[in-house]
């Protein structure tokens, strides 16, 4: 049976197929761009990576050996916001200029830049970043020595403590509950990244 009846439909069908093809190409390009450094990461002859810090715009040159594997709690925080990263090997590099934490997927060569400050807070607020409770200011005058957790004259549950590793601010109660110990004891850990030490009292 001749297919002459297709004649009037040839152009619309061709246009539709072209449109679908273009859509697939755009979608793939978007997915690739989503996982790569928007500032253009470059792999150099010595295997180092050169890219621009997305926070302070300083040029960074790092060796793959300088990438530190994320801990379990850090991985959980990153994957919580980026579910598509489940199962991938992740590592970080901390910018020496602004301390931004850059996350890389290290299951590819060269490593793929994922983003910055994915689990570390980018700004401190007056609320606990774990339970969101309002934090109270310490009742003693500002003093570098007294604001050290070990020297603080009093640590009430709604006072804030600053993680020395990721910068998160969590209340004394949350730190104690997560660490299962008194916050003054060595080894008290941050509820946000699971690391220690927690050694500074926060002042709202």
Tens digit of each residue's pLDDT (9 = 90 or more) over 44-84? 777 788 888 877 788 888 888 888 888 777 788 788 777 88
More confident position, 95 or 43: 95
pLDDT tens per residue across span 100-147: 788 888 888 788 888 887 765 545 668 888 888 889 999 988 888 889
The per-residue pLDDT for 34 is 39
Is it the case that residue 30 has pLDDT exceeding 60?
no
The per-residue pLDDT for 181 is 93
More confident position, 31 or 103: 103
Segments in the chain forming alpha helices (H):
10-34, 72-81, 172-179
Q: Which of 6-15, 35-44, 173-182 has the lowest mean pLDDT?
A: 35-44
Task: Compute the mean pLDDT over every residue in the chain, rounded to the nearest whole number.
Answer: 79
Residue from 71, 48, 72 nearest 61 by CA: 48
pTM, two decimal places: 0.47
What's the first-to-final CA gap in the chain, in angstroms? 82
Reported for 33-42, long-range contacts at CB under 8 A and 24+ positions apart, including other chains, are 35/105, 35/112, 35/114, 36/112, 36/113, 37/112, 37/113, 41/110, 41/113
């Amino acid at each position: 049976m001749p297919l002459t009846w297709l004649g009037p439909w040839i152009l619309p069908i061709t246009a539709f197929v072209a449109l679908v093809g273009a859509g697939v190409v755009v979608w793939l390009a978007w997915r690739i761009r989503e996982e790569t450094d928007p500032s253009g990461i470059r792999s150099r002859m010595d295997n180092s990576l050169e890219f621009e810090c997305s926070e302070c715009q300083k040029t960074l040159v790092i060796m793959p050996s300088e990438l530190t594997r994320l801990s379990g709690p850090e991985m959980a925080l990153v994957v919580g916001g980026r579910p598509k990263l489940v199962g991938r090997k992740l590592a970080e590099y901390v910018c020496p200029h602004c301390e931004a934490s850059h996350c890389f997927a290290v299951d590819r060569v060269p490593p793929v830049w994922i983003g910055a400050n994915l689990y570390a807070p980018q700004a401190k607020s007056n609320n606990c970043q774990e339970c969101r409770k309002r934090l109270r200011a310490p009742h003693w005058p500002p003093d570098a020595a007294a604001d050290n957790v070990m020297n603080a004259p009093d640590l009430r549950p709604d006072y804030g403590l600053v993680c020395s590793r990721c910068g998160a601010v969590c209340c004394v109660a949350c730190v104690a509950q997560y660490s299962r110990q008194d916050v003054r004891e060595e080894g008290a850990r941050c509820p946000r990244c699971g690391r220690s030490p927690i050694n500074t009292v926060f002042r709202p």
